[in-house]
Structure 1
Amino acid sequence: MRIGVHPNNLHLRLASLWPGAFAGLDPVFVPYGEGRDTASLLESGAIHIGGTGSTPPIEADARGLHVEYVAASAPRPANGAIFVRAGSDIGSVADLAGRRISLIDGSFHTYLLARSLEGEGLALGDVERIEIGTQDSLTELLEGRVDAWVAMSPRLEKAIGRDDLRLLVRCGAAIPNRSLFWSLARVGLSPAEIAAIASELARIGGEIATDQVRAAHLLAEHDRSGTDAEAWERVVRSRDFSVVPIDAAVLAEQQEEADTLFRHGHFDRAVAISRLLEATK
C-alpha cells in the first residue's frame, strides 16, 4: 500500500513515523509537497491513498476523477484562521471587499474564505486571492503586500497572541474543517482494504491522543521548518485525532462545500457528490 504523506496532514505524517503503523497493509510512505498534488499522484498510481483537507477531493471530482472517500477526521475548528495586521482598518470580514488575501487556493483556505465572505453578503470574486507559493505569508502581511492571511497549523499557533496581528475569524465559526482520507475509483481499493485503512487510522489516532508528548517530539525531530517540540505539542493538543469511516453526514458536508464553491464561481460546473450519498443509504 503506497500511502501519500505531505507536511500539512499531521495524521499521516505521524503515521509514517509511528512504530507499526499500517503493518498489515505492507506500507510504503511516499512523501510529497502539498495536499493539492494528491489527485495527480493518485491518478498516476504513485500513491494509493492520501489525506487532505476537504477541498482537494472536491477539486478531483470536478476534474472527473471519481473520488473514493475512505475516512474522515473529527472536525478541527482550531486549525485555520484569517489574520490582519494589528493596525489595519479591516475591522470585520465585511471590510475584506477589494482587499488582497494570501492563501493556499484550492485548499480548505478557499472554502473558509468563501463561507466567511458569504456571511457578509460577499463572494470570492469580491476579494483578490493571492497564492502563497514560496512566499512567507506572515512577512507579506506585516510588510503590507497583502491585507489578510489565511493561516493554518503549525504557523497558526505561532501567530495567535502576537501583538502585531489581529485575529479576524476562526475556522470553527465558518466550516467543519475535517481531514479527509481518500483515493480514486481507478485505484481499485477493495472494501476490505478501505475498512482496514479506516480502522488503522482510528487506531493510530487513539495512540496519538494518549501519548501527545511522544507525537510532538516525533514531529519536531523530523521538522525542517524549525518548529520545536513545545510548539508541536500545542498543535497536537489542540486537535482531535479521532477518525471515523465515511458516512452520509460527512458526504453531505462535502456536497455543501462543493455547492458553495460552485456558487462562488470557483468551479465552472456543479460537482455531484450525491452519487456517493446514495451508496451510503
Structure 2
Amino acid sequence: MRIGVHPNNLHLRLASVWPGAFADLDPIFVPYSEGRDTASLLEAGVIHVGGTGSTPPIEADARGLGVEYVGASAPRPANGAIFVRAETDVESVAGLAGRRISLIDGSFHTYLLARSLEAEGLMLDDVERVESGTRDSLAELLEGRVDAWVAMSPRLEKAIGRTDLRLIVRCGATIPNRSLFWSLARIGLSSAEIAGIVSELARIGGEIAADPVTAAHLLAENDRSGTGADAWGQIVRSRDFSVVSIDAPVLAEQQEEADTLFRHGHFDRAVAIGRPLQATK
C-alpha cells in the first residue's frame, strides 16, 4: 500500500513515523510537498491513498477523476483563521471587499473564505485571491503586500495573540474542516484494505491522543518550519485525532462545499460528490 504523506496532514505525517503503523498493509509512505498534489499522484499511481482537507477531493472530482472517499476525521474547528493587520481599517469580513487575500487556493482556505464572505453578502470575486505558495504570508501581511491572510497550523498558533494582527474569522462553525482520506475508483482498493485503512487511522489516532508528548516530539523532529515540541504539543492536544468511515452526513458536507464553490464561480460546472468506497476486487 503506497500511502501519500504531506506536511499538512498531521495524521498521516505521524503515521509515517509511528511504530508499527499500517503493518498489515505492507505500507510504503510516499512523501510529497502539499495536499493539492494528491489527485495527480493518485491519478499517476504514485500513491494509492492520501489525506487532505475537504477541498482537494472536490477539485479532483471537478476534473472527472472519480474520487472514492475512505475515511474522515472529526471536525477541526480550531485549525483555520483569517487575520488582518491590527492597524488596518478592516474590522470584519465585510471590510475585505476589494482586498488582497493570501491563501492556499484550492485547499480548505478557499472554502473558509467563500463561506465567510457569503455570510456578509459577498462572493469570492469580490476579493483578490493571492496564492501564498511557499512565500512567507505573515511577512507579506505585515509589510502590506496583502490585506488579509488565511492561516492554519502550525503558523496559526504563532499568530494568535500577536498585537500587530487582528483575528476576524475562526473556522469554528463556519466550516467543518475535516481531514478526508481518499482514493480514486480506478485504483480499486478492496473492502479489506478499506477497513484496514480506517481501522489503522483510528488506532493511531487513539495512541496519539493518549501520548501527545511523543507525537509532538515526532512532529518537531521531522519539521522544517522551526516549530518546536512545545508548540506541536499544544496543536496535538487541541485536535481530535479520531477517524471514522465515510457516512452520509460527511458526504453531504462535501456536497455542500462543492455547491458553495460552484455558486462562487470557483468551479465552472456543478460537481456531484461520489459514494463511500466499495469493494472492487
The two structures have a TM-score, normalised by structure 1, of 0.97
Superposed structure 1 runs of 4+ greater than 4 Å apart = none
- The corresponding residue for 1:112 is 112
Give SS of 1:276's match. coil
Q: Superposition RMSD on alpha carbons, in Å?
A: 0.9
Alpha-carbon distance in 2 for matches of 1:55, 1:7: 16
1:1-281 equivalence runs, <5 A: 1-273=1-273, 275-276=274-275
Give SS of 2:130's match. strand
Give SS of 1:193's match. helix
Q: Number of residue pairs matched?
A: 277
Tell me which amino acid in the other structure corresponds to 2:18. W
Shift in Å, 1:134: 2.1
Alpha-carbon distance in 2 for matches of 1:134, 1:56: 18
Shift in Å, 1:173: 3.2
Alpha-carbon distance in 2 for matches of 1:210, 1:134: 33
Tell me which amino acid in the other structure corresponds to 1:123. M
The two structures have a TM-score, normalised by structure 2, of 0.97
Alpha-carbon distance in 2 for matches of 1:186, 1:276: 14
Structure 2 unaligned regions, length at least 5: none
Shift in Å, 1:147: 0.3
Q: Percent identity?
A: 84
Q: Could you report, residue by residue, the CA deviation over 1:175-207 in whole angstroms, capped at 9, with x for unpaired residues? A: 000000000001110111111100100000000
Structure 1 unaligned regions, length at least 5: none
Tell me which amino acid in the other structure corresponds to 1:276. R
Tell me which amino acid in the other structure corresponds to 1:130. V
Deviates more, 1:51-60 or 1:165-174: 165-174
Alpha-carbon distance in 2 for matches of 1:150, 1:114: 11
Q: Could you report, residue by residue, the CA deviation over 1:119-152 in whole angstroms, capped at 9, with x for unpaired residues? A: 0000000000000012100000000000000000
